Amino acid sequence: MNFQNEVNSNIRYLLTQFLKVLSRFFVDFEKLNLGRSLIPSSRRLPLQLLGFLITTVICLPLFLVGQAFALTDLEVEAKGSHSFVAEAVRRVAPSVVRIDTERIVEHQPFDPTLIDPLLRDLLGEPSSGPERERGQGSGVLIDDNGLVLTNAHVVERVDQVSVTLASGEELDGSVVGTDPITDLALVRLSDDATPNAAPLGDSEELEVGDWAIALGTPYGLERTVTLGIVSSLHRNISSLGFSDKRLDLIQTDAAINPGNSGGPLVNGNGEVIGINTLVRSGPGAGLGFAIPINLARKVSDQLLATGEVVHPYLGLQLVSLTVRIAKEHNRDPNSLVQLPEREGALVQSVLPDSPAEKAGLRRGDLVIAAGEIAISDPQSLLEKVDQSEIGVPLTLKIMRNGFEQSLSIKPSALPGLS
Query: Between 33 and 192, where is the model more confident?
Result: 192
* Residues 351/315, Cβ–Cβ less than 8 Å: yes
Q: Where do the domains of the chain lie?
A: 2-79, 83-309, 312-413
Whether 131 has a pLDDT exceeding 50, the answer reads yes
Using 50, 70 and 90 to split pLDDT, how confident is the model at 257?
confident
Query: Mean pLDDT, to the nearest integer, of 211-218?
Result: 92
User: Cα–Cα distance between 94 and 88 in angstroms, integer?
Assistant: 11
Q: Look up 153 and say whether it is catalytic.
A: yes
User: Cα–Cα distance between 237 and 382 in angstroms, integer?
Assistant: 13
Using 50, 70 and 90 to split pLDDT, how confident is the model at 1?
very low
Domain 83-309 in this protein, CATH class: mainly beta
What is the per-residue pLDDT for 220?
79
Query: Mean pLDDT, to the nearest integer, of 341-352?
Result: 92
**Which of 100, 183, 365, 377 is an active site residue?**
183
Query: Between 233 and 241, where is the model more confident?
Result: 233
**Which of 203, 231, 261, 388 is an active site residue?**
261
pTM of the model: 0.71
What is the per-residue pLDDT for 48?
55
Rounded to a whole number of angstroms, the CA Rg of the chain reads 35
> Which residue in 361, 382, 384, 365 sits closest to 373, CA to CA?
384
What is the per-residue pLDDT for 190?
82
Q: What is the mean pLDDT of the chain?
A: 80
Q: Look up 210 and say whether it is catalytic.
A: no
Look up the CATH superfamily of 312-413.
PDZ domain (2.30.42.10)
What is the per-residue pLDDT for 32?
47
Using one digit for the tens of pLDDT, what is the confidence trace for 35-78? 444 455 555 455 555 555 665 566 556 555 555 555 555 454 44
Using 50, 70 and 90 to split pLDDT, how confident is the model at 215?
very high
Q: What percent of the chain has pLDDT over 70?
A: 71
**Which of 95, 100, 138, 153 is an active site residue?**
153
Q: Look up 261 and say whether it is catalytic.
A: yes
- Convert 283-307 to b/e letters by CB count within 10 Å (16 or more is b): eeeebbbbbbbbbbbebbebbeeee
Using 50, 70 and 90 to split pLDDT, how confident is the model at 338?
confident
Using one digit for the tens of pLDDT, what is the confidence trace for 261-316? 899 999 999 999 999 987 665 555 568 899 999 999 999 999 999 988 889 989 99
Using one digit for the tens of pLDDT, what is the confidence trace for 164-207? 998 888 999 999 999 998 999 999 998 766 778 999 999 999 99
